[in-house]
Structure 1
């Protein structure tokens, strides 16, 4: 997707599907935009939104990296990563990252190489994050090798994760045809984005476009 010049901007647990045959599929391209685009309104999901999305700065590949990092943080810890906006749409101060528990500090079985990657993906300054998903993928492959080694040694890496409670601030309902969307994803037909875009005004703040 990035190679085609587009960003997803709303990567989160609810937008990642696990295939029965293995692998994953990313869905819901309603907030996708071109790389470098500055959105006039805030769009995203509070628990996974990058600071530059809230501050309405130009968005880049590190924006999706933050969204993914926050998703991985939740998947590994069962907790959400502190972001600069609340589920009610209010801005909030965030702690220094050194004060945020790392995944490996919450679960000692999580390899430090994976924990460190997740925390770097969640850096509040975009230039401190991995520059793109290619870098993230390569580092995940290293982490995967470490995990496989630990599993072979009999370590238990499972954690308890509470059901995902997602805030819905837009007040609207998605009208995306998932079959059509899946076909568009498979053939990289990114011109289909406009067809699936849903712009719903938030009642909490005129600046908020689609926080959900």
Structure 2
């Protein structure tokens, strides 16, 4: 393959690696909701729920940027539920205001009042259901996040352990003497991988461990007798 072809292939690979997947439909849908005409009303009437929805939305964006589709989906759904609850509460306030206004009207028919009260009760029940869903979603998201974190830790530990074994193999071949450059790079990278794992940076520790294996392999090749 020519040098020009190699350069073009490397550029194409770099562009592919850096590009994010399109935003999930649920995330796009939520962004449309939060930019709608009712957004300012929700922020004014339900500032706490609005802030909670924004926090969940930011977590969804962060997960999307980190290419974590499961975390993106969970955070987006939580943001959507919180947002809809805030909208329902805002609508409930409208219903309550309507009831008060109707009560003030002279000669209000009992049927009209009963209908307004019924709509108010329906809104109250809907909010209660939404709040129960939010609680369950938060509990489920926390449990699933913990489970994923445990798996990430196990995967990272396996990779770091494999890197340590590879460096040990290089050491038995006296790579420290015969290929000091590659061996010392692998040794320094292994220390970094251990530090990253201890700090809970599992993804970074896996990447560093892969570098350890590559450098240790190079040291083994250089040290192994022909």
Which structure has greater strand proportion?
1
Which structure has greater helix proportion?
2
Q: Which has the higher contact order (CA 8 A, sep 6+)?
A: 1
TM over 0.5: no
Q: TM-score, normalised by structure 1?
A: 0.27
Kindly name which structure, 1 or 2, has the bigger radius of gyration based on alpha carbons: 2
